[in-house]
Amino acid sequence: MSTERQDYTKLFIGGKWSTPSGSDIIEVVNPHDGTVVGRVPHATRDDVDAAVTAARTEFDTGPWPRLPLEERLAVLERISTLLRERIPEFAQMITRQNGSPITWSLRAQAGAPAAIYAVTARTARAFPFEERRQGLQTPVVVRHEPVGVVAAVVPWNVPGYVTSLKLAPALAAGCTVVLKPSPETPLDANLLAEVATEAGLPHGVLSVLPADRHVSEYLVGHPGIDKVSFTGSVTAGKKVMEVAARNLSRITLELGGKSAAVILPDADIETAATTITGASWALNSGQACVALTRVLAPRSRYDEIAQRLTAAAESLIVGDPTDPTVQVGPMVSPRQQRRVLDYIRIGQDEGAELLTGGGIPEGLDSGCYVQPTLFGQVDRSMRIAQEEIFGPVVCLLPYDDENDAVAIANDSEYGLSGAVFTADSARGLDVARRIRTGTLTVNGFAAEPTAPFGGYKNSGMGREMGTEGLASYLETKSIALPEQ
Paired with 151 in beta bridges are 178, 228
CA dihedral 216, 221, 225, 226 (to 10 degrees): 120
User: Residues 58, 175, 184, 254: which is the catalytic one?
Assistant: 254
Please indicate whether residue 289 is annotated as part of the active site.
Answer: yes
- Burial tier of 22 (Cβ tally within 10 Å: 0-12, 13-18, 19+): middle
Q: Is 464 left (phi over 0), alpha (psi -120 to 50) or beta?
A: beta
Going by their DSSP bridges, the two strands 418-421 and 441-442 should be labelled as: parallel
Paired with 418 in beta bridges are 260
User: Residues 58, 175, 184, 289: which is the catalytic one?
Assistant: 289
DSSP state of 64: G
Between the alpha carbon of residue 38 and those of residues 8, 34, 190, the distances in Å are 8, 12, 11
Amino acid identity for residue 373 in this structure: T
Count other Cβ atoms within 10 Å, centred on residue 426.
8
State how far the Cα of 122 lies from the Cα of 128, in Å rounded to an integer.
Answer: 13
Residues in the chain: 484
Those residues whose C-beta lies under 8 Å from the C-beta of residue 145, and which sit 6 or more positions away, are 174, 474, 475, 476, 477
State how far the Cα of 178 lies from the Cα of 170, in Å rounded to an integer.
Answer: 11
State how far the Cα of 239 lies from the Cα of 220, in Å rounded to an integer.
Answer: 10
Please indicate whether residue 175 is annotated as part of the active site.
Answer: no
State how far the Cα of 391 lies from the Cα of 336, in Å rounded to an integer.
Answer: 8
State how far the Cα of 252 lies from the Cα of 116, in Å rounded to an integer.
Answer: 18
Evaluate whether 257 touches 155 at the Cβ level (below 8 Å). no
Q: Strands (DSSP E) along 76-205, which ranges?
A: 130-134, 139-146, 149-153, 176-180
Active site residues: 254, 289
